[in-house]
């Protein structure tokens, strides 16, 4: 039976560090509020002269390929999770394919926000299990900073998000690496965390109107309280679903890597599962919420720090816009 395993993981974050104190100089907020409500101390914002979603993804990919001992030319398929692709269309997958110089391999974009990386991982896993591809590049990358409303009006979201990219090389294996993935959505809450424009839901005259840029439709709207309440429930459900599907107990999790939405959400899940600090990886303090980038960036850093070792069981879990939520249980091979 065919399985997939993560052969290498990498990440790239922009150089520019944006501290809470800096944000406090441009909007009405402060380090204490941000730290207490979110755990975030700083995040990275791109340099528009230098960074793009695709080129950050390329840097993360090269690191992942190097660590996997796989040449870029061996990659047969790209699955690229982002909600902030470089262009409205085409997606960033083809731009990465071009950056890596990979002629004519397919590239698919996944637009499931904070759950995007797990959706992409699951998609890649299915293609490998059917035998269609043997080596797939799975990406989560995001540039949120240039869409943020960096005024006091936007402070509820402006302090939360950051930029960055992560990549994993998934390859065919006779031993199970990706043990299971579980994906969910509930579109009843689509408008509780969303960016409306440039959507096709507007009538023709509005889509053509120059003034559309003056609307807040291009900015992130988030009903933070509601998102929080759903997140804590769905995270627990989908982690338990992963454990049940594998006949595993929470004690068997060696490292939980939750999507880095908010440190309070991570702490809540940790307490509910009764996991010690060393079994939960968080880096939101340094990067904020990088949406689809958050899980692969965290996984790559945890690996670098020696917190992911051969044969360990790693649990990934995410919740975000859609609402969507997802989990993956992985044996590190």
Q: State the Cα–Cα distance between residues 14 and 60, nearest whole angstrom.
A: 11
Instruction: Determine, following the binding rule CB under 6 A, whether residue 155 of this chain makes contact with ligand COA.
Output: yes
Q: CB of 129: closest distance to ligand COA in angstroms?
A: 28
Is 289 an annotated catalytic residue? yes
Residue nearest ligand COA, Cβ-based? 224
Find all residues with CB under 8 Å of 37, minimum gap 6, and list them: 262, 264
DSSP string, 136-149: EEEEEEE--GGGS-
Listed ranges 13-21, 80-88, 98-106, 221-229: which one lies at the site for ligand COA (CB under 6 A): 221-229
* Binding span for ligand COA by CB under 6 A among 4-12, 29-37, 134-142, 198-206: 29-37
Q: How many helices (H) and strands (E) are present in the chain, helices listed first?
A: 11, 13
Q: Verify whether residue 259 is a known catalytic residue.
A: yes
126 sits near ligand COA (criterion: CB under 6 A): no
* Shortest distance (Å) from residue 319 CB to ligand COA: 6
Q: Which of 71, 146, 225, 309 binds ligand COA (CB under 6 A)?
A: 225
CA distance 137 to 79: 6
The site for ligand COA, by CB under 6 A, has a size of 21
Q: Is 204 a catalytic residue?
A: no
Residue (of 131, 135, 109, 104) closest to 120 by Cα position: 109
Q: How far apart are CA 72 and CA 87, in angstroms?
A: 24
Taking CB under 6 A as the criterion, the residue among 224, 267, 285, 307 binding ligand COA is 224
- Taking residues 232 to 251 in sequence order and writing x for each that binds ligand COA by CB under 6 A, - otherwise, the string is --------------------
Interface with ligand COA (CB under 6 A), residue from 54, 114, 136, 170: 114
Helix axes 263-273, 224-245, angle to 10 degrees: 40
Residues ≥6 apart with Cβ < 8 Å to 114: 259, 261, 289, 291, 292, 294, 318, 319, 320, 321, 324
Q: Does 194 bind ligand COA (CB under 6 A)?
A: no
298: left (phi over 0), alpha (psi -120 to 50) or beta: alpha
Q: Should residue 289 be labelled a site residue for ligand COA when binding is judged by CB under 6 A?
A: yes
**Catalytic residues, which ones?**
114, 259, 289
- Binding residues vs ligand COA (CB under 6 A): 29, 33-34, 37-38, 114, 155-156, 159, 222, 224-225, 227-228, 231, 261-262, 265, 289, 319-320
């Amino acid at each position: 039976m065919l399985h997939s395993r993560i052969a290498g993981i990498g990440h790239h974050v922009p150089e520019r560090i944006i501290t809470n104190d800096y944000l406090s100089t441009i909007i009405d907020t402060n380090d204490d509020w941000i730290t207490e409500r979110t755990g975030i101390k700083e995040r990275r914002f791109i340099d528009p002269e230098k960074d793009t979603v695709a080129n950050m993804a390329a840097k993360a990919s090269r690191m992942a390929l190097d660590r996997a001992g796989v040449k870029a030319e061996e990659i047969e398929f790209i699955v690229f999770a982002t909600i902030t692709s470089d262009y409205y269309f085409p997606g960033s997958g083809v731009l990465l394919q071009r950056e890596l110089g990979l002629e004519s391999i397919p590239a698919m974009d996944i637009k499931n926000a904070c759950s995007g990386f797990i959706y992409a991982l699951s998609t890649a896993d299915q293609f490998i299990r059917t035998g269609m591809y043997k080596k797939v590049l799975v990406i989560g990358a995001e540039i949120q900073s240039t869409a943020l409303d960096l005024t006091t009006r936007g402070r509820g979201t402006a302090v939360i998000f950051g930029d960055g990219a992560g990549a994993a090389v998934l390859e065919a294996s006779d031993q199970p690496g990706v043990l299971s993935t579980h994906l969910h959505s509930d579109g009843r809450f689509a408008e509780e965390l969303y960016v409306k424009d440039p959507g096709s839901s507007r009538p023709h005259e509005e889509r053509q109107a120059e003034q559309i840029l003056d609307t807040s439709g291009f900015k992130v709207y988030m009903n933070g309280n509601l998102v929080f309440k759903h997140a804590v429930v769905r995270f627990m459900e989908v982690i338990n679903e992963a454990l049940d599907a594998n006949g595993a107990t929470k004690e068997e999790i060696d490292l939980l890597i939750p999507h880095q939405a908010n440190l309070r959400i991570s702490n809540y899940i940790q307490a509910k599962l009764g996991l010690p600090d060393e079994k939960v990886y968080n880096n939101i303090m340094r990067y904020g919420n990088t949406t689809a980038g958050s899980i692969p960036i965290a996984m790559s850093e945890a690996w670098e720090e020696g917190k992911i070792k051969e044969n360990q069981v790693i649990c990934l879990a995410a919740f975000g816009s859609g609402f969507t939520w997802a989990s993956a249980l992985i044996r590190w091979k």
